[in-house]
Amino acid sequence: MARAPISCAALAAAALLLTACGEKPQHAGTSHGNSTPAWNGPQTGFTAPGWKPGDQASWDEQIKQRNRGQNEYTRLP
């Protein structure tokens, strides 16, 4: 009779461990087959000033400016 609780606990633990095997890969809302470059994005109200959609040079400059703003060594006086 003591085997029933132990076997139930073992089955529950095995079921819990096996649920992790069925996890599907998670991707951020975009398909991986996207062939449009990032600098071809739309002009919206959230577009950074100075960036012109379709212009790779202005895209690269905006990325450099954003990276400079996130560098704590250059931000500190």
Convert the pLDDT of each residue in 66-76 to its tens digit.
Answer: 888 887 776 66
Which residues are within 8 A (CB) of 43 and not within 5 positions of it... i.e. 6 or more apart?
53
Q: Judge residue 15's burial from the number of C-beta atoms within 10 Å of its C-beta, 0-12 exposed, 13-18 middle, 19 or more buried.
A: exposed
Say yes or no to pLDDT of 35 above 70: yes
* pLDDT of 33: 62
Q: CA 13 → CA 8, 9, 10, distances in Å?
A: 9, 6, 5
Looking at the whole model, is its pTM more than 0.75? no
Query: CA-CA distance, 14 to 37, in Å (whole number)?
Result: 46
